[in-house]
Amino acid sequence: MIATETRTTCPYCGVGCGLLARVADDGAVSVAGDPQHPSNFGRLCSKGAALAETLDPSTRLLHPEVDGERVSWDTALDTVASGIRAALHQHGPDSVAFYVSGQLLTEDYYVANKLMKGFIGSANIDTNSRLCMASAVAGHKRAFGSDTVPGCYEDLERAKLVVLVGSNAAWCHPVLYQRMAQAKQDHPELRVVLIDPRRTASSDIADLHLAVRPGTDGVLFNGLLVYLHDHDEVHAQFVANHTEGADEALAAARASSPDVASVAGQCGLSATQVAEFFELFARTERVVTLFSQGVNQTSSGTDKVNAIINCHLLTGRIGRPGMGPFSLTGQPNAMGGREVGGLANQLAAHFELDYPADRAEVREFWKAPAIAALPGLKAVDLFRAVEQGKIKVLWIMATNPAVSLPDAQQVRRALEKCELVIVSDCVRHTDTTKYAHVLLPAAAWGEKEGTVTNSERRISRQRAFLKPPGEAQPDWWMVAEVAKRLGHGAAFDYPNAAAIFREHAALSAVANDGTRDFDLSGLAEVSDEDYARLAPVQWPVTRARPKGTARLFGDGNFFTPSGRARFLPIIPRAPANPTDSAYPLVLNTGRVRDHWHTLTRTGLAARLSAHTIEPYIEIHPQDAARYGVVDGALARASSKWGQSSARVRVSDSQRPGSVFAPMHWNDQFTSAGCIDAVVNPATDPLSGEPEFKHTPVRIEPLQPKWYGFLLSCRKLIPGAATYWAAARGQGLWRYELAGDELPKDWAMTARTVLCAQDEKVEWIEYFDKAARRYRAARLTKGKLESCIFIGPNPELPPRDWLASLFALETLDAPTRAGLLAGIPPKGCRDSGRQVCACFGVGETAILEAIQSGCATAADIGARLKAGTNCGSCLPELKALLAQHDVRKIA
């Protein structure tokens, strides 16, 4: 029986789906899509649908700690406040820094920014949105005079052409992707172009895929600008009345990208493909260009954003239904962070740090004793300053920089050196909490109240439906408590999140008669009750527009001093660090479908872990042959900055010369899977955003003496292995292993890992010394507790079959014999890589279904249910059909 049902918002990506969180009488939580939420209309992706499985209390940070000892909140907060006070006294405001996150709620974020920029008196607060949205922010501000996303999701459905640039929306914004896929089904004339060096799952709906040479998007969009001009697609009236700088932009574009042939050559494409894209763009008025990290995360990301916007300005395709440049936000509250001014070069509520009048307004409103006057340090520079000893106190909230910043070894050195590191997190053990002097337990999703803003500027409520475990508290409360201890009680005396939201909305209204885009004046007096009920709404929300605003710039007025949008002359630049003979390949990094960032949440759910069980390096067959790496074996990626090891995937989805690795793995889940140890710390000079998509690397095979895997009911430390990767399975942990040394005594080594030297356990084993095969299992009263399989190569028995034995109450003699022989009973086969997370359907069953006549994803769905719930796996089903359906191949 359902006891409560709470409307809330998904804590993952920037699509911002509405959810119904249900708590049953027995406390069991389940999650469904909210049919009334205008972002998803009831849809969810695999991650959202599995949220209930990630609410595992066992990994939580439950109590405040100082130097590894549990302390009271008072002691912890006093330690933080006295550390800040001492640093302020001895070294001044810039010796203190906050590193925060687009996963904070707006209310948390607002309070942290206020304390730093108004009361500590430094702008040294930066956020992981620097790694994500900073180039889009800088590009928007240059073009529009404001950080505005002009359009809304509905535009994707009303467009006739959607251009996806550097976005793998099928995996990273799945519900939005599904809305596009549906729109394409409903209106077959809708065209989709994908611009990405890799062939990703998003290519499923693409009519044209331009596998550009990495980093050449600036050349491509400059070429488009020239083409539009030369083919009379200029909206002369719009350009004349509402823009400035078109001639300079065109001249610059012509210099880099004079014609289709030149563009094709520079971008590594055929002239036909380029011409097809240009022609399609030119003739389609309703076009949305959707861009994400393939654009932003480069050392010329800001320029690329403006190269895209230039094309929309020249054609006047902005601010009207079905058209516009559209930056997708990554995190659930990346947009909210930009509203409160969470970046080191912003002030608050879209007031500018650089303008004295803006500083005066904010100082007056906050009654701030020490408003920051100069921009603070951007993330990469911030961690350099920490290593140089310039920053004495660093407070990290809701982000895991030891894993997610480039040159992760440098970040770890910096954290090691810093005098006082404070970490607020929900999870006890992360690669970052290792370095904390003070740990503050944060209330997690479902336990706290606040708002988030999605990619289309839509503010939605996150509501609490669970009690925080232990002593966990909302982030805003911690910051306010520290502020009080620093003597700023009056300014931080908030009774609840609603009060913070009201203040944030009121600040946005100060001196704002249409001069700033971000305006929540219509919500500045929202009551606690109305805040509790607040329906999703797109800003600006003013008294004149109480229901919010779907689109901006429809009137041709922009927020620049002249009121005109600016064209920017773009001179495309090559990536900061080119490849050379020592590091000949380009490392591109990004996301997989079912994992979220550093695995602190999705790593807890078996069905999300099964899709990609370990870190991998994907490489083109030609490069694999050239560098001697083999599909399914292990390899090391090395750069000038560091190394990482992972499983090899050979695939022609990669461009020759490029390799791809996911960003998610870290020391909690692998021996050496943290790819940011390899990634270069180059940044965009304007936005400070790191170049995560382009690091020169070398790939070499690892040549371990043995391969193996281990399944266990308990979490273990696979000490004997030089390579290991852990993944949650259904009721067990799964480890992939490899080792450089052949143990002298296999049984001893295996027992040490599996039994922690406990002599009394039931133990069965098999050893073939000549074949270098070892297998053993530990049982408790006849029930399987753990098992280990070792062999000379990666070919090992099916894990799923072995995993299924853990459900048996006792293992009978034939099963034990089969286990040690490594041979599953007849008819039992490995289910293969999991494709459908909702129904746990693996590749083997899908291939069988295809062989036995299923010809469409719908056929597979009817037979296996795969793809019939959240739909996140549909692109993969269709890819398997394309590869294996004999009729199609013939």
- The option from Mo ion, ligand SF4, ligand MGD, none interacting with 646 (CB < 5 to 8 A, set by class) reads none
User: Which residues have a Cβ under 8 Å from the Cβ of 266 and sit 6 or more positions away?
Assistant: 213, 216, 219, 257
- The option from Mo ion, ligand MGD, ligand SF4, none interacting with 585 (CB < 5 to 8 A, set by class) reads none
Omega into 540 within 30° of 0, i.e. cis? Answer: yes
Establish if 153 lies at the interface with ligand SF4 (CB under 6 A).
no
From 7, 10, 136, 209, residue interacting with ligand SF4 (rule: CB under 6 A): 10
How far apart CA 773 and CA 209 sit, in angstroms, is: 46
- The option from Mo ion, ligand MGD, ligand SF4, none interacting with 175 (CB < 5 to 8 A, set by class) reads ligand SF4
Side-chain half-sphere of 733: how many Cα atoms within 13 Å?
18
Establish if 156 lies at the interface with ligand MGD (CB under 6 A).
no
Intra-chain end-to-end CA distance of the chain, in Å: 53
Closer by beta carbon to ligand SF4, 174 or else 690: 174
The count of chain residues that interact with ligand SF4, using the rule CB under 6 A, is 14
Site string for ligand MGD, 443-472 (x = CB under 6 A): -x----------------------------
Strand partners, 18: 9
Establish if 281 lies at the interface with ligand MGD (CB under 6 A).
no
Task: Name the residue type at position 302.
Answer: T
- The option from ligand SF4, ligand MGD, Mo ion, none interacting with 245 (CB < 5 to 8 A, set by class) reads none
Establish if 675 lies at the interface with ligand MGD (CB under 6 A).
yes
Q: ∠506-511-514 over CA atoms, to 5°? A: 95
Rounded to a whole number of angstroms, the minimum distance from the CB of residue 50 to ligand SF4 is: 10
- Sign of torsion over alpha carbons 208, 295, 395, 410: positive
Rounded to a whole number of angstroms, the minimum distance from the CB of residue 447 to ligand SF4 is: 18
Rounded to a whole number of angstroms, the minimum distance from the CB of residue 594 to ligand SF4 is: 10
Phi-psi region of 76 (alpha: psi -120 to 50; beta: other; left: phi over 0): alpha
Rounded to a whole number of angstroms, the minimum distance from the CB of residue 131 to ligand SF4 is: 18
- Binding range to ligand MGD, per CB under 6 A, among 270-278, 419-427, 644-652, 789-797: 419-427
From 45, 210, 610, 702, residue interacting with ligand SF4 (rule: CB under 6 A): 45
Establish if 301 lies at the interface with ligand MGD (CB under 6 A).
no
DSSP string, 1-19: -EEEEEEEE-SSSTT--EE
- The option from ligand SF4, Mo ion, ligand MGD, none interacting with 101 (CB < 5 to 8 A, set by class) reads ligand MGD
- Binding range to Mo ion, per CB under 5 A, among 53-61, 324-332, 407-415, 668-676: 324-332
User: Which residues have a Cβ under 8 Å from the Cβ of 616 and sit 6 or more positions away?
Assistant: 646, 647, 648, 649, 661, 662
- Dihedral Cα 513, 518, 521, 526, nearest 10 deg: 180
Establish if 330 lies at the interface with Mo ion (CB under 5 A).
yes
Establish if 132 lies at the interface with Mo ion (CB under 5 A).
yes
Please give the backbone phi and psi of residue 205, each rounded to the nearest 5 degrees, phi first: -100, 5
Establish if 739 lies at the interface with Mo ion (CB under 5 A).
no
- Binding range to Mo ion, per CB under 5 A, among 110-118, 129-137, 166-174, 221-229: 129-137
Encoded tokens for 689: 């955003």
From 20, 21, 23, 44, residue interacting with ligand SF4 (rule: CB under 6 A): 44
For residue 751, give the nearest of 787, 784, 699 by alpha carbon: 787
Establish if 399 lies at the interface with ligand MGD (CB under 6 A).
yes
The count of chain residues that interact with ligand MGD, using the rule CB under 6 A, is 59
Which contacts qualify for 519-528: CB closer than 8 Å, 24 or more apart? 522/546, 526/498, 526/501, 526/502, 527/498, 528/496, 528/498
Q: Return the H-helix or E-strand segment holding 644.
A: strand 643-650
How far apart CA 399 and CA 593 sit, in angstroms, is: 20
From 87, 125, 136, 175, residue interacting with ligand SF4 (rule: CB under 6 A): 175
How far apart CA 422 and CA 98 sit, in angstroms, is: 9
Closer by beta carbon to ligand MGD, 96 or else 408: 408
From 38, 48, 218, 875, residue interacting with ligand SF4 (rule: CB under 6 A): 48
Establish if 593 lies at the interface with ligand MGD (CB under 6 A).
yes
Scanning the structure block, which residue is given the tokens 């910051």?
479
How far apart CA 718 and CA 200 sit, in angstroms, is: 34
DSSP string, 788-833: EEEESSS----HHHHHHHTTSSS--HHHHHHHHHT-PPTT-----S
- The option from ligand MGD, ligand SF4, Mo ion, none interacting with 44 (CB < 5 to 8 A, set by class) reads ligand SF4
Rounded to a whole number of angstroms, the minimum distance from the CB of residue 10 to ligand SF4 is: 3
Binding-site ranges for ligand MGD (CB under 6 A): 13, 101, 103, 128, 131-132, 165-169, 171-172, 195-198, 200, 212, 214-215, 217, 292-294, 297, 330-331, 397-401, 403-404, 424-427, 430, 442, 444, 475, 588-591, 593, 595-598, 600, 663, 675-676, 679, 692-693
Q: Which chain residues interact with Mo ion by CB under 5 A? A: 132, 330
